[in-house]
């Protein structure tokens, strides 16, 4: 067996010589735990950044109007609220509604 730690990519496996006495085991465990805690801290920061990014994205985009989904109509990239064609009156006009950020037939 070699005296160096065996490694496979980013994996680290201690050799027998690195675990031969209590001081060596302590040194090896400290190295493993330092790496583990650094990874844990990095993961926590990533989760916080992701949560704040989700808040920003959800605050900026209001999304399609409630009650709509795959049946949403888009005209030139602008949302048009779904409408029941049986209830349309003769002369209905397409108008913009700023409170819902979409167009609807009125």
How many helices (H) and strands (E) in the chain? 1, 6
* 62-69: long-range pairs with CB below 8 Å, 24+: 62/100, 62/101, 64/102, 65/100, 65/102
Q: What is the pTM of this model?
A: 0.45
Q: Which residue has the higher pLDDT, 2 or 10?
A: 10
User: pLDDT tens digits for 62-72?
Assistant: 665 555 565 56
């Amino acid at each position: 067996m070699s005296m160096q730690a065996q490694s496979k990519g980013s994996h680290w496996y201690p050799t027998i010589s690195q675990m031969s006495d209590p001081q060596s085991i302590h040194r090896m465990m400290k190295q493993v735990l330092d790496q583990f805690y650094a990874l844990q801290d990095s993961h926590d920061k990533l989760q916080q950044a992701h949560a704040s990014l989700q808040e920003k994205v959800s605050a900026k985009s209001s999304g399609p109007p409630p009650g709509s989904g795959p049946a949403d109509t888009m005209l030139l990239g602008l949302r048009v609220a779904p409408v029941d064609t049986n209830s349309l009156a003769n002369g209905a006009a397409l108008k913009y509604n700023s409170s819902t950020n979409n167009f609807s037939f009125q």
